[in-house]
């Protein structure tokens, strides 16, 4: 049976990503604050279209913006785990990473009544311990890796990497990997961050980006009978008015093309049934 799933996902970082990068002056922080404001217009649009989505929400956002975070949950959207402070996993010890994982999960439990089933790492940068910790704490899926495009796969642990030697593939686990791509993330296209360490240009035309995103769905339909396409957005990025208009048009086109909109948890459950049958 032909079935092409689309997951609209939102990384609800607000100010956390800027703080984690040491960008704590008023202007960068205000960019994150814009995301809290824009979350309302995104939720209104999703309600109008009857679409349920996944919001990867740091514990920082849940505690700093409780009303806005509650509105997401009350709208029937999945709350995914996105750390507490948006510190990349690879920059933490195992103990620090697990403490961060537990702390943020408690925020999600208080907000929704249950811990998160899905995880997305800050900056999409896992540590050697992340998969083990996600399995230990009962997660269904991760959405941080890029080893495929439309077909979820089983995350591995224990890969061996040594310069001058062949790649050592580790053990496949029961954790479902829901692959992502920087090309399907709004941030590289539309925003830029300047720090002493990095310059990342963006600010591409919104409709041109949405056309490429639609082309990705068209190619999925052309090449696989069943697949999942994940778009990653940030409320402080996609929430600008002209970008919202372009997103609305994209969703209209996807719906007309037969896209099945799901939360990532729903799509991961379907993927799990296929991977373990």
- Give residue limits of the domains in the chain: 3-275
C-alpha Rg value of the chain to the nearest Å: 18
Domain 3-275 has CATH 3.90.1300.10: no
Among 246, 156, 258, which residue's Cα sits nearest to residue 209? Answer: 246
Could you tell me if 7 and 78 are in contact, meaning their C-beta atoms sit under 8 angstroms apart?
Answer: no
Q: Per-residue pLDDT for 197 more than 60?
A: no
Give 3's strand partners: 226
Using one digit for the tens of pLDDT, what is the confidence trace for 12-32? 999 999 999 999 999 989 999
Q: Per-residue pLDDT for 191 more than 90?
A: no
Across 155-185, b (16+ Cβ under 10 Å) vs e yields bbbeeeeeeeeeeeeeeebebbbbbbeeebb
Q: How far from 113 is each of 59, 106, 107, 209, 214, CA to CA, in Å?
A: 15, 10, 10, 37, 35
The tokens 């830029």 sit on which residue? Answer: 192
- Mean pLDDT, all residues of the chain: 95
Q: How far from 219 is each of 111, 214, 227, CA to CA, in Å?
A: 38, 9, 11
Residue 246: CB partners within 8 Å, gap ≥ 6?
Answer: 206, 207, 209, 210
Q: Per-residue pLDDT for 198 more than 60?
A: no
Is the pTM higher than 0.85? The answer reads: yes
Using one digit for the tens of pLDDT, what is the confidence trace for 32-71? 999 999 999 999 999 999 999 999 999 999 999 999 999 9
């Amino acid at each position: 049976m032909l079935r092409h799933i689309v997951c609209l996902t939102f990384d609800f970082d607000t100010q956390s990503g800027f703080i984690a990068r040491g960008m704590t002056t008023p202007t960068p922080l205000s960019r994150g604050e814009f995301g809290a404001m824009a979350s309302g217009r995104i939720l209104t649009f999703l309600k109008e279209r009857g679409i349920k989505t996944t919001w990867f929400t740091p514990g920082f956002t849940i505690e700093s913006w409780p009303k806005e975070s509650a509105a997401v949950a009350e709208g029937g959207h999945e709350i995914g785990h996105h750390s507490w402070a948006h510190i990349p996993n690879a920059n933490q010890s195992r103990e620090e990473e697990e403490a961060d994982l537990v702390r943020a999960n408690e925020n999600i439990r208080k907000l929704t009544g249950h811990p998160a089933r899905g995880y997305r790492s800050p900056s999409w940068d896992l540590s050697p311990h992340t998969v083990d910790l996600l399995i230990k704490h009962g997660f269904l899926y991760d959405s941080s890796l890029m080893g495929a495009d439309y077909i979820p796969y089983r995350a591995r642990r224990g890969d061996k990497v040594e310069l001058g030697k062949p790649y050592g593939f580790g053990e496949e686990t029961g954790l479902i990997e829901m692959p992502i791509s920087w090309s399907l993330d709004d941030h590289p296209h539309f925003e830029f961050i300047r720090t002493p360490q990095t310059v990342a240009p963006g600010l591409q035309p919104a409709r041109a980006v949405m056309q490429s995103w639609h082309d990705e769905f068209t190619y999925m339909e052309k090449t696989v009978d069943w697949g999942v396409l994940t778009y990653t957005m940030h409320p402080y990025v996609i929430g600008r008015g002209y970008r919202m208009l372009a997103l609305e048009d994209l969703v209209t086109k996807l719906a007309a093309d037969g896209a099945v909109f799901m939360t990532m948890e729903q799509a991961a459950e379907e993927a799990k049934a296929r991977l373990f049958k």
